[in-house]
Amino acid sequence: MTVDASVLLARSLTAEPMRPGWSNALRMGASVLPHQQLLDIDAGCGTRRPAR
């Protein structure tokens, strides 16, 4: 039996709901990040002048 180290590492570092095959709703539902707030901030940053 052989073990692919990259696959083992990827599986150990990726939360179960973030893996392929899970719906997008479950992926963000399991996240502790404020997803909608981050999207709003990102949209606002695109409209502002860059800082010098």
For the stretch 6-19, pLDDT in tens is: 888 887 776 666 66
Q: pTM for this one?
A: 0.31
Nearest-angstrom CA–CA distance, 3 and 30: 29
Q: Average the pLDDT over 21-26 and give the result.
A: 68
**H helix intervals, 1-52:** 5-13, 24-29, 35-45
User: Tokens standing for 23?
Assistant: 């719906």
